[in-house]
């Protein structure tokens, strides 16, 4: 059974300040090691677009977009 964020917060609040600081430092180190923008899992699809892919940048979708969501 996965641990929820609320459970982690409750456990952290029960720790003394020195242990809280140790956990924060470990989390900061762990986060710092992860790349901010990991594109290594993307798969290239070089022939996916038929035509000039630069033309996709200039498409106007305003007439197709409907932001009136049902309530």
- The pLDDT-based confidence of 8 (bands split at 50, 70, 90) is confident
The 10s digit of each residue's pLDDT in 58-71 is 888 888 788 888 77
Give the separation between CA 9 and CA 24, rounded to whole angstroms.
Answer: 12
Asked whether the beta carbons of 55 and 47 are under 8 A apart, the reply is no
CA–CA distance from 11 to each of 14, 28, 37, 59, 62 (Å)? 5, 18, 31, 51, 49
Q: Say how far apart CA 18 and CA 24 lie, in whole Å.
A: 10
Confidence at residue 67, expressed as pLDDT on a 0 to 100 scale: 80
pTM, full prediction? 0.36
| pLDDT tens digits along 23-52 | 888 888 877 777 667 777 888 888 888 888
Query: What pLDDT is stored for residue 28 in this prediction?
Result: 83
């Amino acid at each position: 059974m996965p641990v929820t964020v609320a459970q982690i917060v409750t456990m952290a609040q029960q720790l003394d300040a020195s242990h809280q600081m140790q956990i924060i430092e470990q989390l900061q180190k762990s986060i710092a090691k992860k790349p901010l923008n990991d594109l290594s899992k993307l798969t290239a699809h070089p022939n996916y677009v038929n035509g000039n892919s630069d033309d996709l940048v200039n498409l106007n979708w305003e007439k197709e977009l409907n932001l009136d969501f049902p309530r």
